[in-house]
Amino acid sequence: MNKVLQIEEFQLKKVGISILVILHVVGIFGYLSPLSDWFLFLTPVNLIITAGMLWIDTQDETYYGWWIAVSIALLGYISEIVGVHTGLLFGSYEYGDVLGWKIFKVPPVIGINWLIVIWASYSVAFGLKIPKAIRWLTVALFATGLDYLIEPVAIHYDFWSWEGGKPPLKNFVSWFGLACIMAILFEKYPIALKPRLGQVAFICQVIFFGVILFLLPMLK
């Protein structure tokens, strides 16, 4: 019976990896194509599907994993609300319409984006087999680096816009601090003990935004 479950889990992971790769490859071509507006409209759907694929990696047999995931998404969302309305955390910015409908001027799906970034970054750091405290800092470094890569693409496609046209230094400082806190929350109840999908998601995100960022100047 255990072998059957292992085979089913392996097949499920293969499906999840395939979906993640296809989503991001198609997304690259879509964002750079004349149909980019249509693909941008589907961005929230992409985020939700990606989060769903990551959940396949969970080893949770209780309800605690859900609470950790929801807590991280809510913390990310609430921090964005504070950021948009005060400018204290990230700087002065506002969201466009790409990420869908908004509550308090912030699209709720951004909380899912925070969860994806932290989950993916944690998965890569977990694979390094380093001490917990170093892992938290590594997760924060990976997450902040990913945000640095995302920012120019997000600004170009009007995910959000910054006063002055680009994010200030405190945006990345706040990202690092919040990511550390989220990494600690994630560590309290590790729900990605076999983080293959999270690692694939991180690679897909880096390639997705890296390729688009590289090719965008050629399309102008």
- How many CB atoms are located within 10 Å of the residue 18 CB? 12
Quick check: 212 and 149 in contact, CB under 8 A? no
First CA to last CA distance, the chain: 57
For residue 37, what are its two tokens? Answer: 């507006």
What pTM was estimated for this model as a whole? 0.91
Report CA dihedral (190, 170, 210, 212) to the nearest 10 degrees.
120
Quick check: 207 and 24 in contact, CB under 8 A? yes
pLDDT in tens, the chain (220 residues): 455 445 455 566 788 889 999 999 999 999 999 999 999 999 999 999 999 888 877 766 666 778 888 999 999 999 999 999 999 999 999 999 999 999 999 999 999 999 999 999 999 998 888 898 999 999 999 999 999 999 999 999 999 999 989 999 999 999 999 999 999 988 877 666 667 888 999 999 999 999 999 998 876 6
Work out the burial of residue 190: count CB atoms within 10 Å of its CB; fewer than 13 is exposed, 13-18 middle, 19 or more buried. Answer: middle
Nearest Cα neighbor of 186 from 120, 111, 128, 90 is 120
**Tokens 């507006």 belong to residue:** 37
Q: What is the pLDDT of residue 72?
A: 93
For residue 43, what are its two tokens? Answer: 């961005």
Quick check: 186 and 134 in contact, CB under 8 A? no
28-35: long-range contacts, CB 8 A cutoff, minimum separation 24:
28/207, 28/208, 28/211, 28/212, 31/157, 31/212, 32/212, 32/215, 32/216, 32/219
What backbone phi and psi angles, to 5 degrees, belong to 98?
-65, -40
